[in-house]
Copies of this chain bind each other. A is one copy, B any other.
Amino acid sequence: MQSKSVGIVGASGYSGELLVRLLSRHQGVESLVVASRSHAGKRLSEVLPSIGPSRFDESCFIESDPSALAASDTEVFFLALPHGVASEFALPLVKAGKTVIDLSADFRLFSAEVYREYYGEAHPAAEWLKKVPYLLPEWSGREALGASLIACPGCYPTSILLPLLPLIKGGLVDAGQVVINAVSGVSGAGKKASEFYSFCERTQSVLAYGLAKHRHLGEIEEQLTEAAGEPVVLQFTPHLVPMDRGIASTVVAPLKADLDAVYAAWNAQYGQCPFVRILAPGKAANTRNVVGSNCIEFSATADPRTGRVILTSVIDNLMKGASGQALQIFNLKFGFEETEGLL
């Protein structure tokens, strides 16, 4: 494997900051440029002190101009940008021959109609939607790694899809009766100046949000529909909890097989995956075990009273739900050890 020159666009948010830290440790990153509208000219260590000592400490943020970045000799770009903005960078960069790993929601959906339904406007480059793979490393086929523009899954979807996809695909649960509740730490909302996200408002607060149609729903349903071979419609209710990082998803669905079949499907799919930790029935996944790591932890418990299976699944929303997974994709695409920079 050859070392790469890497860029990050949008590094002043939480996932961008974490990417800088992870890439600083990575043996296969020979250079790093970081582009940011608000911080151009400042040193990385000044804006992001928590990245600690880093070989890129003295680097300065550069202007986040798509044409200039496209003309540069950086080979691979991570986009840690808000949805809608990412596509303004992704397309020029890909056209200039760069590899782009997009952490935003811009290319996660296949359907332009679904995009319009969830994001309230036409997709700016709808013709790309069907071409860009949605790459969930432990699930997606290896051919997706060949693409030069890759969409990273969202945080809620990652926590839900990994345990659920094999069960839907294998017909082990009733895909028509899936009910999902999930909770997220506050960093999921990004770095924001907002009364709602202030410490005092959030510290004693749990509440549902996105009732009844959170944006991640479209993404989850598309993936499950593909796995099921027929339309899947979900009940999905996310909640905010007073925690910095972490997502815990609880999925219930009628079980059409026995629990052994669930575990067999999981072991077949994930037995060799370094970041998947499968817990015994009756044990609940715990965000504390994954905060700061790129792991997903999940379990299945049968409820004989209701005939349903209960899946509990946790990730760190900024790691496996964003920056860690993006780096995992980078590793797989360029032939590095899957865990490089992620231990």
Contact = CB atoms under 8 A, between A and B. Distances in A.
Interface in A188-204: 191-195, 197-204
B312 A207 contact: yes
Contacts of A242: 199, 241-243
A275 interface: yes
A237 interface: yes
B204 A288 contact: yes
Copy total for this chain:
4
Contacts of A294: 52-53
A274 interface: yes
A67 interface: no
B206 A241 contact: yes
Nearest to A206: B248
Given A195-B192, A282-B211, A312-B207, A14 B200 contact: yes
A89 to B, nearest CB: 23
Given A207-B284, A208-B248, A192 B198 contact: yes
Nearest to A276: B53
A303 interface: yes
A305 B301 CA distance: 27
A206 B310 contact: no
A53 B306 CA distance: 35
B186 A312 contact: no
A212 B286 contact: no
A245 B289 CA distance: 16
A301 B183 contact: no
B193 A194 contact: yes
A275 B49 CA distance: 12
A50 interface: yes
B207 A198 contact: no
26 contacts: A14-B200, A52-B293, A53-B294, A53-B343, A179-B252, A191-B198, A193-B195, A197-B198, A204-B245, A205-B243, A205-B286, A206-B286, A207-B284, A207-B286, A207-B314, A208-B250, A211-B301, A212-B303, A212-B310, A233-B305, A234-B306, A237-B252, A241-B243, A242-B242, A242-B243, A292-B292
Given A183-B183, A197-B199, 13 more contacts: A52-B293, A53-B274, A183-B239, A191-B201, A198-B198, A199-B242, A204-B246, A204-B288, A205-B246, A206-B248, A208-B310, A212-B301, A239-B250
- The 9 lowest CB-CB distance pairs between A and B, nearest first, are A52-B293, A181-B181, A205-B288, A212-B303, A207-B286, A208-B284, A49-B289, A206-B248, A199-B202
Interface of A: 14, 24-25, 45, 49-50, 52-54, 177, 179, 181, 183, 186-187, 191-195, 197-209, 211-213, 233-235, 237, 239, 241-246, 248, 250, 252, 274-275, 277, 282-295, 297, 301-303, 305-306, 308, 310, 312, 314, 339, 342-343
